[in-house]
Structure 1
Amino acid sequence: MYQLTFDTQAFIKQQWQKKPIVIKQAFANFEDPIAADELAGLACEEEISARIVVTKDNGWEVIQGPFEDYDTYGESHWQLLVQAVNHWYPDSQPLVEAFRFLPDWRFDDLMVSFATPQGGVGPHIDNYDVFIIQGEGERRWRVGDKGDHKVRGGDKTSPLVEDFEPIIDVILEKGDLLYIPPGYPHCGETLTLALSYSVGFRAPSQQELLTQLADSLIDTNSGHKRFESDSESAEPGMVSQSQQQGIMHLLAELANQPDKYQTMLGQLLSQNRFELDICEGEEALDTDELVDLVSQGASIARIGGLKVLRLEGDLNSRLFINGEVYPLATATEEELLTLANENWLENEQAQQLCGNNEIASLMVTLINQGLYYLAE
């Protein structure tokens, strides 16, 4: 069990998306949820996103996984980073649970890194919020202020930036936490063999929203309204400001029509960037079998990283799960919220929910898809 030692609601009001902060001993008696050799084993798997960053005199070399061995990298100047460890290693999920004071739709993944002395990724800027928790070992972190930071090497697609003047310069020890909002340059340097945990939170960009909205309008054959005006520019080659604004107002109209954006938003926010560890059973269940197993004491759990969301004020009774829409016309709001909020449905909860035939049918579908599973 991982319990944060600070006031999370005060953190949201004072720090969240405002400024970086170091919280010493944010976790008391912190224990690493995964060992270095177990992390190295995950990085050998084809389905898992992993990379090694080697620190060199003139920069950094990035090698993408999977990896067969690590002997060639030596005992210093490199770092292994494994994404979405919470999808593949269930013992890491309790660490993620500690950060559910923030909504699931924002949560991206748990990245775990193993670093040798002098290993790191260089000064860079992220476009998401990150909590860095120090496990075994020590790392020095420097964080700069927001500003016009020069991109390293002139590559505007790279997050790497030139060095900066730090506003935070700290050595993190086991159980310490560093929070960094988007836009703040930062750089980590490993002092001793170290395990670090990055809990990332991400919101959709304008590009992602517009792309998803366009796809949704095409799928539903909607969004056909065109711009109309009662006056025209006297200059044939001129697009007037009022017409520019009127054309763009067509997009603003969609943002005020829940029937146009809610489905799109639920699908977008419930998707994962990284593969899930789908666990389909050998034989498909039916509803009667599920109800029988639950009556015998089984609980129902979702796989690591699966997002189950309910939109407040949704015009429809439904859930959004892994980018898909699941209507539940007979479910109460309380039942919908229970399904959205609980990663693990204890037996009593599972029995109550499966008393609704529509929910029981949904659970069978999700279990057969490998998104949920039966547990003791």
Structure 2
Amino acid sequence: MDSASFLRVDRVEVGYGRTTVLDGLSLSVAKGEFVALLGSSGCGKTTLLRTIAGFASPRSGTVSLAGEDITALSPDRRGMALVFQSYALWPHMSVAANIGYGLKLRRLARAEIARRVADVMAMLGLDGLGERRPSELSGGQRQRVALGRALAVSPEILLLDEPLSNLDARVRLSVRQEIRQLQKRLGITAVHVTHDREEAMVMADRIVILDRGRIAQQGTPEAVYNRPASAFVAAFMGAENVLPLTVAVTGERITVAAGAANAAAVLPRDGRPLASGPVEARFRAEAARLEAGRAAPCEGFADFFGTVRGVSYPGGLWRHVVSIGERDILVDAAAATPPGTAVTVRVPAEHLFLFGPAPEPALPHSRPPAPSSGRAG
């Protein structure tokens, strides 16, 4: 068996009624790898997790684990454990009973259950809380109990369905680090669903971005962040500033034509699959520099001309709303520039993402109606 295919989803199609949610999707996960499924609501990430877990049945395609086809196996026979967003703890049971619940279902001896529960509680910092009920715990503690219940059964794969979304920001930061450190220490294979870009970046070995039931891009956090493959991925990874440009592509050079709101520039092609003509330029607020007036041209930068319309302080940096042509963009800077100031927004070539015209949007994917039998119903 290929070590990169410990868990394999092969050309899976999943739908509800006539609507297709996963559209021939394939994904491989290596043993011990932490993969984050990232995407907006409705992209199919939770359906993919449920299909891996066995709670959703594919219309076609297969799911395999360690080379064995498990597509038809029930969830309890897959060697996986799922941690839910809602914790899903039994309110009438103690912490110890909740953690040991899966072991009790497997009919382990009482002494063995007690030993494993004690080990898990010690590992998760829950010592002394064994007799408490979930209602007597904080949100972070309840999440650790849910995680402990999953780990107690020694799963081959840990599935995480937005387990941190119910926690407040401070607790979420600490718990996600704990989960990541624990996953590394135990060598567990993990698949984590989230809509939080930062959470995926800091926790995962690999990010898989889904869009309308297909994989839009996958790779290391650094690769997906710095080399988005499409305008959709760039926007999802924070490059929400959008400005139009016209370019001429010659060999390894991209020549940007001067426009009413931008200077001429020559940029390296850097492997970008572009053709000459109109393009969409995207960049992040923190990637640009703000200079008063019209700055002198500088090699390796794209310059846009605009006017500051507003300034705010979200913390750490000053955020500027800059009007460029008919569009407003955001630029972060260490110092505030007053509204009304004419400025140059300067973007380094490596942080400027260029994309050709978007393809025509596909029609919603649905199954055709069944042919008529010719008989009255």
Length-normalised TM-score, structure 2: 0.22
Instruction: From the CA coordinates, give the structure whose radius of gyration is larger.
Output: 2
Length-normalised TM-score, structure 1: 0.22
Higher strand residue share: 2
